[in-house]
Structure 1
Amino acid sequence: MLLNIDLPPAAPPPSASPDPPASPDPPAAPRPEDGGAPPAERPSSGSGRPPLAGLPVLRLIRPLAALALLAMILGRMVAPATVGLAVGIERTARAVEIAGAAASQLFALGAIVAAMALIGAVVRSRSPYVLRIAAIVGGSFVILVVLHATVQRVPDLSAALIGVSAAVLALGSAWEALRVPFMRPVAAALGLVGASALVRLAGVFLAVWANERGSKSLAAAAGSVATAAFAIDALAVLVAAVALGADRAARPQAPPEAGQPRPAPRLVTPLSLASFVPALLATRAALAGAAEDASLLEALLRRALDRLLTRPAPAVAPSVQLFAAALAVVVAALALIAPPRLSALGGALALLLVARSAPEVPLSALSLLIAALCVALAARDDRGFWAAVLATERERPQGELPGAGKADLAGAPQVDAGDDTR
């Protein structure tokens, strides 16, 4: 019994021929009142659960997000944009279309397996019961619809329902993750994407209703709702750009002294500013692609970015819509190249940006589902999550991160432990 403490027996008198050494008893664990840490192998009282976030599934989130981004660029943007772009590129367009379809199928297979593993991990974690039930019900429904989409076209009602399910789960996961300081930028971006998805689906419903009834007032209301959805979506992309360097900016070189507050994350970092440069260049080229004397690359960029614009169209200038679409692609790519402290968070950030403009598409809903489950798991399973963080830090070269030593790693769990109220 853990509560019974046996006193050691009296020491026997020394003898000339010592007996063979018996198996030594394990050293007594230091008690908390003596200032010692509890033994690592003893689980916390009432828990008994192994660390979940250290499961290998989190290591697959980043390559899975890279595959999702590749499938979106090839299958959704470039392949439709090359059709009829110029004379003599039919074979190239066909090759790009096949490559996009292959990437989409590979992503669908890997994402289904990852989603099922993440649902099981979230159910066994310490997340609220409401979030666990939502992960089971909503996640299973999204997976079933995605499996149905591999055989035949998904009905409109099912497409709308998977978008709502993924958006609601994203809002719940973001609400849970906002209490963890280093995850607040990613959680805010996830919550904004979920809110934008719900508002946009409401606008689609109003537009369909207005078309059936021929009502101009409903059409105007649908345009207003679509504009609100675009505003929330653009804010989500900006928050995602801030999340690129917020973790590195807020990470101290050494633990702060007693009585000193931890530095707040900066909103403007070199990495977030660097994402605006290619987005501005792509927007400028896309705007020039609408002219008759545009080059082949400019016309291709205009057609590709047009595929990311939302419907119904918001009452926003086309240049702003094109910039938001280009910035989302750039930030998703940078989140995979230079992820936050844990690479799974970079993958989740890229996945939610892939799904931002089309939550009713099966693969986009699946991307948003995986991002929500990853964030929810990281917000609650602190032991396994920080084990994965330390493993990631040990894999990096010593010269890659300034001050990545014992002081930095020792200060990381204190951020979560101080703000985690259980």
Structure 2
Amino acid sequence: MLLTIDLPPEGPPPSAAPDAAASPRREEGGEPPPAERRSSAAGRPPLAGLPVLALVRPLAVLALLAMILGRMVAPAMVGLAVGIERAVHTIELAGAGASQLFAIGAIVVAMALISAVVRSRVPYALRIGAIVAGSFVILVVLHATVQRVPDLSAALIGVSAAILALGSAWEALRVPFVRPVAAALGLVGASALVRLAGVLLAVWANDRGSKALAGATSSVATAAFALGALAVLAATVALGAGREARTRDAEPPRPRLVSPLSLVALASALFATRAALAGASDDASMVEALFRRALDRLLTRPAPVVPLSMQLFVAALSVVVAALALVAPPRLPALGGALALLLVAGSAPEVPLGALSLVIAALCIALAARDERGFWAAMLANERERTSSSLPGAGKPDTTGGASG
């Protein structure tokens, strides 16, 4: 593979002072002339992660559709009522198509992100981890398109993606504007590691018939659920973080624990949980039974020692927050896509596409945290577009000829 690296042009030596007479003077507080803007931007290095970060949000839309249609709705509708076989088959085809498109796009985006991380300013340990873990997960995903992935390989890709998520979260927590999403990423990675340890204990307890190992399995599964619930709550807080308007020199606002988006997410999750709990009764409606079956597909195994209502609420909240992160993303849409991807992967990190989603989310957050110039350039560009589109006379020339006396 040939890599083209754009080197910044050679500039004047540090001791050389610019000629004041060569460039026109500007008023105080005004914008610099075009020549000065070009010269100041010429010495900046190219933005490594900015082009590929724009693909994360569309990819997260495919991931969420694949999870909702293929993993939740289609299996839940089987045998739900008489005469819906054609609708079930249509939803199954839509879910399978979204999964295939997501798999193809995720492999391409993951390779591009690995290349961008290698050329970025992230620590060398994280670069090596991105190459090793990302390449291993991609190879297993390609193997999964041909035949079933062995249990050992599934466990290894889950561990690899979780460790990479922890490393990326540790680096991103140092940057204020990425901190809420990074906290959710780290909690998802920790929950994945603990849950995989619980699966290993469950296998040992089944083989040896040990009651002590069975009790330890329940405790580990409960700890994994607690970490996953904290990850979903952190993602809910991240919905309202960084959405306030601010200038270039202003301090980034602190994330609010309660925001309109978080309230909408909590209310929607409560409604879905109530419908799912009612779906277990004999006189439940078709919608309530559908909610119960769909949310049951997101419950983790081994089962934690937690009330079923709490498990259903966390599962519903993760889906709602992922959808809201894509509909109303933060000021940089790539962070909304990464937030949705890590929530999609949170319930199944050992599944090949789940592990790949977690890898992409981890690399995206690491790039957004380290490529500060590209991050703020994209953020300011989005703000200028929103401001210009909201103004009634945007884009029209000024024909007044100055202020009227």
Q: Indicate the residue corresponding to 2:13 in structure 1.
A: 3
The 3 A distance-change label for structure 1 pair 370 and 84 is same
5+ unaligned residues in a row in structure 1: which ranges?
A: 10-24, 29-35, 402-422
Tell me which structure has the larger Cα radius of gyration.
1
Q: Indicate the residue corresponding to 1:230 in structure 2.
A: 225
Partners of 2:162 and 2:247 in 1: CA distance: 37
Pick one of 210, 221, 226 that aligns with 2:216.
221
Letter in 2 for 1:52: A
Corresponding pairs, count = 371
Pick one of 254, 261, 269 that aligns with 1:271.
261
Q: Judge conservation of contact 1:197–1:229 (CA < 8 Å) in 2.
A: yes
Cα offset for 1:82? 1.0
Q: Indicate the residue corresponding to 1:239 in structure 2.
A: 234
Cα offset for 1:88? 1.9
Q: Judge conservation of contact 1:240–1:349 (CA < 8 Å) in 2.
A: yes
Q: Indicate the residue corresponding to 1:188 in structure 2.
A: 183
Partners of 1:8 and 1:267 in 2: CA distance: 49
Partners of 1:43 and 1:378 in 2: CA distance: 21
Pick one of 359, 382, 388 that aligns with 2:349.
359
The 3 A distance-change label for structure 1 pair 27 and 106 is same
Q: Indicate the residue corresponding to 2:327 in structure 1.
A: 337
Instruction: Give a deviation string over 1:65-100, Cα, whole Å, max 9, x none.
Output: 011000000000011111111222222211111111
Partners of 1:307 and 1:8 in 2: CA distance: 66
Q: Judge conservation of contact 1:51–1:385 (CA < 8 Å) in 2.
A: no
Cα offset for 1:395? 3.0
Q: Judge conservation of contact 1:200–1:229 (CA < 8 Å) in 2.
A: yes
Q: Judge conservation of contact 2:70–2:91 (CA < 8 Å) in 1.
A: yes
Q: Indicate the residue corresponding to 1:311 in structure 2.
A: 301
The 3 A distance-change label for structure 1 pair 253 and 168 is same
Letter in 2 for 1:161: L
Q: Indicate the residue corresponding to 2:96 in structure 1.
A: 101
Q: Secondary structure at the match of 1:328?
A: helix
> For residues 39-118 of structure 1, what are the structure 2 equivalents within 5 Å?
39-43=39-43, 49-55=45-51, 57-118=52-113
The 3 A distance-change label for structure 1 pair 209 and 2 is same
Instruction: Give a deviation string over 1:129-176, Cα, whole Å, max 9, x none.
Output: 000000000000000100111111000010011111111111111111
Instruction: Give a deviation string over 1:247-287, Cα, whole Å, max 9, x none.
Output: 125x547855xxxx765332111211111111100000000
Instruction: Give a deviation string over 1:214-249, Cα, whole Å, max 9, x none.
Output: 111101101100000000000100010000002125
Q: Judge conservation of contact 1:226–1:314 (CA < 8 Å) in 2.
A: yes
Q: Secondary structure at the match of 2:40?
A: coil
Cα offset for 1:6? 7.3
Partners of 2:22 and 2:104 in 1: CA distance: 47
Q: Indicate the residue corresponding to 1:32 in structure 2.
A: none
Instruction: Give a deviation string over 1:396-416, Cα, whole Å, max 9, x none.
Output: 254769xxxxxxxxxxxxxxx
Letter in 1 for 2:330: P
Letter in 2 for 1:74: L
Q: Indicate the residue corresponding to 2:6 in structure 1.
A: none
Partners of 2:98 and 2:75 in 1: CA distance: 15
Q: Indicate the residue corresponding to 1:295 in structure 2.
A: 285
Runs of 4+ in 1 over 6 A off after TM superposition: 4-9
Q: Judge conservation of contact 1:53–1:388 (CA < 8 Å) in 2.
A: no
TM-score normalised by structure 2 residue count: 0.86
Q: Judge conservation of contact 2:113–2:360 (CA < 8 Å) in 1.
A: yes
Cα RMSD (Å) of the superposition? 2.5
The 3 A distance-change label for structure 1 pair 2 and 296 is same
Q: Indicate the residue corresponding to 1:159 in structure 2.
A: 154
Pick one of 196, 201, 204 that aligns with 2:196.
201
Partners of 1:115 and 1:332 in 2: CA distance: 20
Q: Secondary structure at the match of 2:50?
A: coil
Letter in 1 for 2:12: L
TM-score normalised by structure 1 residue count: 0.83
Q: Judge conservation of contact 1:52–1:385 (CA < 8 Å) in 2.
A: no
Q: Judge conservation of contact 2:172–2:366 (CA < 8 Å) in 1.
A: yes
Deviates more, 1:222-231 or 1:83-92: 83-92
Deviates more, 1:81-90 or 1:280-289: 81-90
Matched, 1:124 2:119: yes
Partners of 1:349 and 1:262 in 2: CA distance: 19
Instruction: Give a deviation string over 1:42-70, Cα, whole Å, max 9, x none.
Output: 436xxxx4112321x21111111011000
Partners of 1:6 and 1:397 in 2: CA distance: 39
Q: Indicate the residue corresponding to 2:8 in structure 1.
A: none
Q: Indicate the residue corresponding to 1:412 in structure 2.
A: none
Pick one of 243, 250, 254 that aligns with 1:248.
243
Partners of 2:182 and 2:223 in 1: CA distance: 20
Matched-pair identity in %: 73
Matched, 1:171 2:159: no
Q: Indicate the residue corresponding to 1:18 in structure 2.
A: none
Instruction: Give a deviation string over 1:1-54, Cα, whole Å, max 9, x none.
Output: 733867999xxxxxxxxxxxxxxx9859xxxxxxx999423436xxxx411232
